[in-house]
Structure 1
Amino acid sequence: MSFLSKTFRLVFSLVIAMVLVSRVASQSPDVDFFERKIRPLLIERCYECHSGGAKRLEGGLRLDHGSFLDKGGDSGSAIDHARRQQSLLIQAIRYEGLEMPPSGKLSAEEIQLLTEWVLLGAPWPQEPIPETKKSNKPFSIEERKSEHWCWRPIQEPILPIEDATSVTRIDAFVADKLRLLSIRPSERTDRATLVRRLHWDLLGVPPSNEVLVCWTESKEVDWYERCLDSVLADPQFGVRFARHWLDLMRYAQSRGHEFDEDIPGAEHYRDYVVRAWNMDLPYDQFVREHIAGDLIESPRRHPTRDWNESILGTGFWHLGEWVHSPVDTRKDETDRFDNMVDVFSKSFLGLTVSCARCHDHKFDPIGTEDYYALYGFLRSSHYRMYRFESDLSDRQLLRELQQTRRSFRERVVHDLGMGILDTIEFDESVASAVAKEPIAIPLNPQDTRVIFDSRSLTDELWRTNGSAFGEAIELAGFASMRLISTEQATDNNLPKALGLRWNSLPAISADPFWLQQRNLVSKVNSKNRNSQIETAHKTFSTPSFLMEEDSISFLIRGGIRAVLIVDSHRLNAGPLHGETIFESKPESADVLRWVSKHGLARYIGKRVHLEISPLDEHGLDVFQIASGRVNHRVQVDPVTKDSIQGYADNQVEPSDFQGLARRVASGRYLEIQLRKFIEGMNHESLGSTRFGSTLLEWKRAEVSLEKRMQVESRVAMAMQDGSGQNDFLLVRGNSDRPSHEVKRRFLEALGGKQEILDLPFSSGRMEWAQRMLSDENPLLARVFVNRLWHHLMGRGIVPTTDDFGVQGRAPSHPELLDYLSLQLKGNDWLSKPLIREICSSHTYQQRSTAGSVPYSSDPNNEFLAFANVRKLEGESVRDAMLLITGQLDQQLEGETVRVHLNDFLTGRGRPDKSGSLHGDGRRSLYLEVRRNFLHPMLTAFDTPTPFSSMGRRNVSNVPAQALMLLNDPLVHWLAERWAEWELKQERSDRERIESMLLAARGRIPSDGELEMAIRYIHRERMLQTVQTDEKPISVARSAEQEIWKSFAHAILNSKELLFRF
């Protein structure tokens, strides 16, 4: 058979394969766009007059089913497919003649969405036509559950009879279906194809020539099992499957929208996922860490670096789009929550829960209350930047520091003598201030204006993101002034018992010991508009409260930075909401004062919380926070004032031990004063007395602890529990129309109503995670094993990997799906044993040719009579070209590589710096993912845009792909590098051609292919040869390299390099 006829057969097979693959493409992104953006808009703004449930159908037009768009109403068809821009629907919403809705024009954003939808052809999912009248049939969770397969418990299936081709139990299930169609499975494919298939599927890159030859020539009987084990143990396995997972998590390193703001620390979630896959982290633990990794009492630690791994899983919640300056912060929050719920439900459950945002789900047993019950978990949780490299060691160091201070505090009090506490004690700086102006004092804790009072704080309300504020309540008293008195201090008789009153007042304090720590972020994604990079270890969060005034006041000592978090909005990068950030630096760090932040009227009526951090290295003490403008001070009467001033004038400076002793009090204030005192003394004078020796020993102990502190640490996104809040059901999804409160719980169809959460001090996410992992949930295991099957076989047992509901496809092998689910759970939720079993099956190892299978029996190969030919993903195409040309750097983790900016990547938010053309040779997983500046080659080869979950990528065959391989500068650069390397090897033309074709195609070329390639090289040499006296002279080295570059470029355009067989 000629080389050309073989090539024709190959091309024809590929075309057929592409057609088959396209038939099982994932749900169209256009339909997803409709469900997320258009259907809610139609329901909210159009259905009242233009649906089957309308009291009176206006204009004869219905907009509640796709078929009615073409049918139209009294004025004609709503959509003109020939001239979409001139469609009546677009004219009506723009008020160009017709005016819809008549009650008021849609917003510019709504008009833009509907226009975009019409220009796409008004995509609408296949669904039954709604009834013309409102159904009297009630929405029944139980009835809908009973009608659909995915809600049924996982059952131990009966093992079918195995046939001669069966290697594993998987084959028995597949063969049983094929027998019903009178189809026999294909034969096992050749070794080279198997080795290459394993590498593509499990590593995302082809094997090197050496590896391929090693396994194809192995004499071992169990060569395949050993090859499979070696591939599963390869660290690149984690890279491959992390990329699959990141498609679900809509992973990106920028926020999109108008200015494409950075997402600092996003890459640490990516690296966490790689490590999890490589270590074969049990999937149930993986899920638990994603939902509530910050709440695990004994978190999983990094095997060598000993940091908290579990908390990094919660970073996925914060990978979505953020708007930098939303006009309506509540609507913006509901859009972000909707995306979070959508990603969570599709990824872990295979359900479209977000379809219940505006109404009960049209097909599945998911009610609107189910949807908004999940909002409560998110509303009760906060975004934070987390010092993941040092936090666990910081906590241990903090415990040792607190124990050291308690021990030395007791010794100091003992050395001074308890009797000294009966003398007059006061703070000199405050006493001096008293003589000049009134004293700032707190409000009564029962005052309705009080938002936060340190005296009322409990461990349940302790919310910090690092060690600076400690990890538990320590009621550290502040002996600002103490007058001898046995009377109890109250707000009403403060001047009489001033000292006792202050001594009983605790504060939330940022310890200067920790404020030297610095936080590190990637140089690539280092922009920060939410100010949490610098404060990732020194922020205290208040409980949520209702904003009732246009001002907030703080009773503090030291410099403060406070951020008002409104509707969880943090990206303060535009003209709006800058007033939510407040900073105040005092003239003296020791002065107690009231400071106020004004101009907050637009946030009255909203639920908010404050995140507070010290402004400088001197620390911060927060006593009280109140609503409104508060400057509560007391003017001391002249007699008391004069006596205090007189005592202050006669007070010795704290340069001797007696002066220091007069400042003794319990708690951190003593430590601050002692440190100030110690810093002013030399070691000789300190050691001259017993008291001084104790202080010197204390100082040395703290210096020793300080040396153990990890000053620098990288930071990553994570969740942090806030105070427990429920959210409200929003009528038709409208954030301006809240209905009744919905308590936090899981989906009712999965037992959610059995555990309705009423937790005032926590989000309830840990309880949510436990309910997810309950045996009552059949979806978690089914959805996950279906994803593994999809990635290995090219098609899921349930083809719609992200939708197991009524709108999704039914499983081709339901018993096999349950068998795999039970295998997963029986292996303690480990993935690699299941992957090993799938790859060991005859079904996986079949040829990719149909053989004698009648096309009509199974045209889409749903029942797996042969292996599916699959087009490679964009990342594999790029990584493979880097590998075979000798340019691939397979390092794990490390710095993200900036996106390469060509002349066509323009627009707002364009990064200041461009990455290299070749991405430093790193695997595509480590290239920067910017939502508004996506990698052109990866985009051309169907890498999804990171806006929502994409469990099954689209597969296209468009001219842009061929043009990319022909013209892209990267492909030309790689061809040139490949030619350079090949010319350095001492090889003949034949050997060089064989090596290059083997690397690209995974097989030794045929004699015909070799001869054709050799003729091409010789012909090119002749064209480059300079004739002198009719005798050829040697071709210049540069010309020779150009010849081999053109040959390398042709190979990089080979179809065999773009498909997995």
Structure 2
Amino acid sequence: MNNPRRFRHRFALTALLTVVLGSVTWGQEDSAEGNAFFESNIRPVLIKECYSCHSNQTGNARGGLRLDTQQLTIIGGDSGAAIVPGDLDESQLWLAITHQSSEMPPRGRLSDTVIEDFRRWIEMGAPDPRETEIVEVQSSITSADIETAKAEFWAYQPAHDHQPPRVNHDEWPTNAIDQFVLAKLESKALTPAVDADAQSVLRRLTFDLIGLPPTSEQRSSFENRWQESPESAIASMTSELLGSDQYGERWGRHWLDVARYAESTGRGVNMTYPHAWRYRDYVIDSFNDDKPFDQFTQEQIAGDLMPAKSDQQWSEQLIATTFLAVGAKAVNEQNPVQFAADLVDEQIDVTTRVFLGQSVACARCHDHKFDPIPQSDYYALAGIFAGMKTYFGNPPSEFGEAKTAQSRRTSSLLLLPVDDPNPYDASYSAQELKQLRDRIVEKRRELSQLGPRSGGNSIRERLRLTNEIAQLSAKYSVVDENGQPKSYCMGVQEPDQPRDVRVLVRGEIDAPGPVIPRGVPQVLNRDGVDIPVDQSGRLQLAQWIGSDANTLTARVMVNRVWKHLFGRGLVSSLEDFGSTGDRPSHPELLDHLTVGFIESGWSVKTLIQTIVTSRTYRMSSEFDQQHFEADPENRLLWRMEPRRLDAEAIRDAMLLISSDLQLERPRGSEVAKAGYVAVRDGTFGIDRDRIREQIEDAMKQQRVRTRRPFSGPRQAMGRPNPRQFLEEAIERERDRLDMTTATYRSVYLPVVRDEVPRSLEVFDFADPNTVIGNRESSNTANQALYFMNNPFVIQQSDATAQRIAKQSSRSIDQIKLAFEHIYGRQPSSTERVAAISLVKSMTGQKNNFNQRQLGVAALSTLCQSLFASAEFRYLD
């Protein structure tokens, strides 16, 4: 199987970024002879024809374009790079002077001789001796500041194990965690809450570990074990839950939050990522396999550079690098240099915040305002990522890609070394494949016949043909020579020639400063990270971040795990371990767990098992006024904090209770099914024909109403409003999709930026545009309305009612079953009376109530009211 690196195509971003940020050598053409050609044939034309509108000398830069230095010429303006050395079709200046995109200069067309000189100059590599003045950058952060922070600030200290402290009530702890927690409480004259009851602990365990409520069999088994030994019951159930496939789906979703996982670019154009689902499955499988977290870390940063024993392992490592490729992207950004700089910035931001708990991206434009991270440290990291090929767009095609601003930003994809095609990719017979190829060849012939200098309507015709070729090429490129689908993934690859980059003053691409050697932030770099001259340093960065010596990475992950089990991290600012973040509530406990995490082989499952088998995890949420006054935020952990279930757990629980949940993992995603498309606002996955019919019907009905004779108080009828009808129809379709699209687990629902499914959006689903380690947990009127009116909730209430009706024909038993399925317990006498009153009011039954079967409608209403309750939505 071919190496993905062989599929690198000439991509303007690498050359452009190199020119702006680093030192440049164009090759043999960039010689005294080439410079002489520029001075005699090109510069005079630029001065005479272009500088009046596009130079700093005249104080004019129309369209953001300046042509008076080499760097600024290559940076270009609003339409993109003015010159891409060696590539006429990508050079906006060439397209303008040949009247392919616009007609420049405005005074009249240049002579054929001059145009030929520009063609020769660009093809020889655009040698140009003009230099942009390099600005010196002064840092306010000294080496002494950095060394002081290393020596004194808690987050920059290596983690050291601490012996569990002695406590007065030594009968309470069950492991070291409890000793650390109890010692803190005793120092403030506080005591821990009593133990929660068995069913509360079980519900806490199942939702925390697999995101689902306990089954009746689990409740029965756990209750029996609990009576013998609570510790044994918890340990046994924890092992069972950690061994299930549902564990990876639950904890994989936590990681997808911080990895800003989504299946589209967002930001305006919002192009789909049809292969992002491979990374989703990689994450889930990694948690289920308990892949060592240090390896998991390294694979996502530099999996393409790590050794692999098989094609399957190599494929997995390539897919892992989707972590760097899956972020939001402004593919409609017209300036490729700005796009490349923003892409690197996003990759630096996610890498440092997710793994190191530091926002190094804050130093892009100036020294970090609060932490000892000078601007030069940001550009040391930028050199590691700059020039790296990021693959996130369409499959590569032997026919090339459309030469449009958007296509230059959408890149291509990596070919996997194993046969694992997208389940929605079509295959072609030999005849169909030949016909597709013939159509592409014919369209390319038509395009070539237009000529490079045609004007008028030929520009529109050129654009039409270019787009047709791109669409046909995308279909042709996803199959092999036999017409069978190829296997692609998103990811990254090394640059051909790694280089150090320049500081950008104020972060602006047209203000280059001095060149900065590649490296890692000094305040974090205790042992030194050596980067070979011929390598980017990304592999060394990954090995350093995911190493036993770098305990900060382990500390950040331990804190994330603690947060998901207690609702709040030991450091509440999960992505900010810097000076503006919160200090640890239990620093010795955090370090103790960190050292244990590393010694366990970076096993997340072992860490979870250690935490949930503690007595601290077993505490009830019982409120105590005295304790609250002493510690209102519960930072000392005197009780278990009540927590609202997240969006996925609420949806999945309803599906499980109704018996509709499909536990088998679906292959691919709805986005993979849609293919390579631009998402329309508010309408992804929606049947547009249905919307059109709804709008037409609504408009007809309003026209009929406006023609009716007046009878009663005058009302403002107005004209039909198509926009309003469109919005209302889209809302109805989104609700319908929530109900009918899928009954598999919520982690497999499509995550399209700005198009999150309603069942997730209303309950504070993570914003996929950014790193989210700590979701919001609101309690809003929209959530109550969702439970009252949403078709999905109504459908699941109906399905639950039908399930109960099959289990018992006695009304009182049906009420008990509703409570048991939804709450995991029997109703109290007060609740039983209230439930009976509700169903009586709906059915009109008065006599022999206990012996009669409830109607499905009444039972469904009861189930819906139980779903809408706080007890269902919260973990106690």
| TM-score for the superposition, normalised by structure 2 | 0.67
Instruction: Show the counterpart of 1:204.
Output: 211
- Is this contact kept in 1: 2:738–2:792, CA < 8 A? no
Give 3-state SS (helix, strand or coil) of 1:184's partner.
coil
Structure-to-structure mapping, 1:858-897, within 5 angstroms: 858-897=631-670
1:935-974 superposed matches below 5 A? 935-974=757-796
2:834 maps to 1:1060: no
| Aligned with residue 202 of structure 2, among 195, 204, 219 | 195
Q: Is 2:389–2:492's contact at 8 Å kept on the other side of the alignment?
A: yes
SS in 2 for 1:195: helix
Following superposition, the deviation at residue 386 of structure 1 comes to 12
Task: Indicate yes or no: 2:814 matched with 1:992.
Answer: yes
In structure 2, relative to structure 1, the CA distance for the partners of 1:342 and 1:785 (3 Å cut) is same
**Structure 1 residue aligned with 2:865:** 1050
Question: Which residue is 2:352 aligned to?
Answer: 345
Q: 1:617 Cα deviation (Å)?
A: 10
Find the aligned partners of 2:357 and 2:308 in 1 and give their Cα distance: 30
Q: Determine helix, strand or coil for the equivalent of 2:630.
A: coil
Q: Are 2:285 and 1:275 equivalent residues in the alignment?
A: yes
| Counterpart Cα distance in 2 of 1:578 and 1:523 | 27
Instruction: Give the letter for the 1:968 counterpart.
Output: N
What residue is the counterpart of 1:79 in the other structure?
none
Task: Tell me the equivalent position of 1:1005.
Answer: 827
| Structure-to-structure mapping, 1:721-736, within 5 angstroms | 721-723=494-496, 724-736=498-510
Letter in 2 for 1:1052: F
What's 2:536 paired with?
763
Structure 2 partner of 1:638: none
Counterpart secondary structure, 2:742 = helix
SS of the aligned residue for 2:493 comes to strand
Conserved in 1, the CA contact under 8 Å of 2:415 and 2:487?
Answer: no
2:369 is matched by which residue type in structure 1? K
Q: 1:255 to 1:862 in 2, by over 3 A?
A: same
Cα distance in structure 2, aligned partners of 1:866 and 1:327: 54
- The equivalent of 2:613 in structure 1 is 840
d(CA) in 2 for partners of 1:616, 1:886: 39
Deviation string 1:318-359 (CA, Å, 9 cap, x unpaired) is: 111122332212112222222211111111001111111111
Distance in 2 (CA, whole Å) between partners of 1:355 and 1:575 is 45
How far off is 1:758 after superposition?
4.4
Q: Distance in 1 between matches of 2:478 and 2:569?
A: 56
Q: What CA distance in whole angstroms lies between the structure 2 residues aligned with 1:791 and 1:341?
A: 25
The 1-side partners of 2:617 and 2:340 are apart by: 45
Letter in 2 for 1:149: W
Question: Is 1:737 matched up with 2:511?
Answer: yes
SS in 2 for 1:359: coil
Q: Equivalent residues in 2 for 1:1026-1037 (5 A)?
A: none
Report the counterpart of residue 26 of structure 2 in structure 1.
none
Aligned partner letter, 1:295? L
Give the letter aligned to residue 1040 of structure 1.
G
Equivalent-residue separation in structure 1 for 2:810 and 2:328 (angstroms): 55
Which of 775, 779, 783 is the matching residue for 2:552? 779
User: How much has 1:194 moved relative to structure 2?
Assistant: 0.8
Runs of 5+ unmatched residues, structure 1: 1-101, 108-133, 389-462, 469-516, 527-533, 535-557, 562-573, 585-610, 620-705, 1026-1030
Q: Label 1:522 to 1:334 Cα distance change in 2 as closer, same or farther (>3 A).
A: farther
The separation in 1 between residues aligned to 2:741 and 2:775, in whole angstroms, is 23
Separation in 2, partners of 1:1059, 1:963: 17
The structural deviation recorded for 1:743 is 2.4
Structure 2 residue runs of 5 or longer lacking an equivalent are: 1-58, 65-137, 396-411, 427-432, 434-443, 448-459, 688-732
Matched residue SS, 1:741: strand
1:1058 CA displacement: 0.6
| Among 324, 330, 335, the residue aligned to 2:337 | 330
**Tell me, what secondary structure is at the counterpart of 2:173?**
coil
1:767 CA displacement: 1.2
Q: Which residue of the partner structure matches residue 20 of structure 2?
A: none
* 1:182 maps to 2:189: yes
User: What amino acid is the match of 2:238?
Assistant: L
Contact persistence 1:184–1:853 (CA under 8 A): no
Partner residue of 1:816 out of 580, 589, 592: 589
What amino acid does structure 1 have at the position aligned with 2:819?
Answer: L
What per-residue deviation string (whole Å, max 9, x for no partner) do you get for residues 17-43 of structure 1?
Answer: xxxxxxxxxxxxxxxxxxxxxxxxxxx
Tell me by how many angstroms 1:884 deviates. Answer: 1.1
Matched, 1:308 2:315: yes
Distance (Å, rounded) in 2 between the aligned partners of 1:908 and 1:887? 27
Counterpart-to-counterpart distance in 1, 2:752 and 2:614: 40
Indicate the residue corresponding to 1:1040 in structure 2.
855
Per-residue deviation, 1:990: 2.2
Whether the 8 Å contact between 2:810 and 2:852 is mirrored in structure 1 is no
1:1019 paired residue number: 841
* Paired AA for residue 1048 in structure 1: C
Equivalent AA in structure 1 for residue 867 of structure 2: L
How far 1:298 moved relative to its partner?
Answer: 2.1
Task: Give the helix-richer structure, 1 or 2.
Answer: 2
Q: Deviations over 1:573-623 (max 9, x none)?
A: x99999999999xxxxxxxxxxxxxxxxxxxxxxxxxx999989999xxxx
Residue 774 (structure 1) shift: 4.1
Distance in structure 2 (CA, Å) of the matches to 1:257 and 1:618: 33
Mark the CA change 1:900 to 1:1034 in structure 2 (over 3 Å): closer, same or farther: farther
Change (3 A) 1:290 1:899: closer
C-alpha distance after superposition, 1:887-913 (max 9, x if no partner)? 111222423246999xxx973774464
Q: Root-mean-square deviation (CA), in Å? A: 4.1
- Is residue 324–residue 347 contact of structure 2 (8 Å, CA) maintained in 1? yes
Contact 1:522 1:896 in 2 (8 A): no
Structure 1 position 363, deviation (Å): 1.3
Which residue identity is paired with 1:740?
Answer: P
Q: How is 1:454-603 mapped onto 2 (pairs within 5 angstroms)?
A: 520-521=421-422, 523=424
**Match of residue 165 from structure 2:** 160
| Separation in structure 2 between the aligned mates of residue 576 and residue 728 of structure 1, nearest angstrom | 38
Distance in 1 (alpha carbons) for counterparts of 2:475 and 2:305:
23
Per-residue CA deviation, residues 1006-1057 of structure 1 (Å, 9 max, x unaligned), is 122123212322332217x9xxxxx9999999x9111111111111111101
1:180 CA displacement: 0.9
- For the 8 Å contact 2:548–2:598, the answer to whether it is kept is no
**Aligned 1:258-407 pairs, distance under 5 A:** 258-298=268-308, 308-384=315-391
| Partner SS, residue 502 of structure 2 | strand
Partner of 1:801: 574
Alpha-carbon shift at residue 959 of structure 1 (Å) = 1.2
Match of 2:523 in 1: 749
1:824 to partner: Cα distance: 0.4
Percent of residue pairs bearing the same amino acid type: 30
In the TM superposition, residue 919 of structure 1 has moved relative to its aligned partner by 3.4
Structure 1 residue 519 displacement after superposition: 7.9
Aligned equivalents of 2:849, 2:783: Cα separation in 1: 40
> Which residue is 1:513 aligned to?
none
CA distance in 1, matches of 2:667, 2:141: 58
Pairing 1:144–2:154 present: no
Q: Which amino acid aligns with 2:325?
A: H
The SS at the match of 1:729 is: strand
Pair 1:996–1:900, CA change in 2 (3 A): farther
Pick closer, same or farther for the CA change 1:1035–1:323 going to 2, 3 Å.
Answer: farther
Q: Is the 8 A contact 2:178 2:615 kept in 1?
A: yes
Contact 1:363 1:807 (C-alpha < 8 Å) held by counterparts: yes
1:999 Cα deviation after fit: 2.0
Partners of 1:387 and 1:519 within 8 A in 2:
no
Tell me, in whole angstroms, the C-alpha distance in 2 between the residues paired with 1:332 and 1:733.
13
Aligned equivalents of 1:379 and 1:575: distance in 2? 36
C-alpha separation between the residues in 2 aligned to 1:260 and 1:385? Answer: 12
